[in-house]
Amino acid sequence: MITLENVTKAYGSGESRTQVLKGTSLSLEDHDFVVILGASGSGKSTLLHVMSGLEKPDTGTICYDGKDITGFSDDQLTQFRKEHIGFIFQQYYLLPNMTVDKNVKMGADLAGNADYAEMIEAVGLKEKRYKYPNQLSGGEQQRVSIARALAKKPDVLFLDEPTGALDEETGRSALDYICRLYEKYGYTIVMVTHNQNIAEMAHRVVIMNSGRISDIRMNETVKTAYEIGW
Can you give the binding site for other proteins, defined by CB under 8 A? 49, 54-55, 74-75, 78-83, 85, 87, 89, 91, 93, 95-98, 101-102, 105-110, 127, 130-132, 134-135, 148, 152
Smallest Cα–Cα separation from 26: which of 220, 219, 207, 224? 207
∠ CA 214-220-223, nearest 5°, is 100
Contacts with 49 (C-beta within 8 Å, 6 or more apart), sequence order: 55
**Gyration radius from the chain CA atoms:** 17
Distance of closest approach, residue 105 Cβ to other proteins, in angstroms = 5
Q: Decide whether 10 or 98 has the Cβ nearer to other proteins.
A: 98
Contact 90, 161 (CB under 8 A): yes
Q: Decide whether 135 or 197 has the Cβ nearer to other proteins.
A: 135
Q: Decide whether 27 or 135 has the Cβ nearer to other proteins.
A: 135
Distance of closest approach, residue 44 Cβ to other proteins, in angstroms = 14
Distance of closest approach, residue 7 Cβ to other proteins, in angstroms = 15
Contacts with 59 (C-beta within 8 Å, 6 or more apart), sequence order: 6, 7, 8
Q: Decide whether 7 or 108 has the Cβ nearer to other proteins.
A: 108
Contact 182, 189 (CB under 8 A): yes
Distance of closest approach, residue 79 Cβ to other proteins, in angstroms = 7
Q: Decide whether 153 or 172 has the Cβ nearer to other proteins.
A: 153
Distance CA 79, CA 59 (A): 22
Distance of closest approach, residue 1 Cβ to other proteins, in angstroms = 21
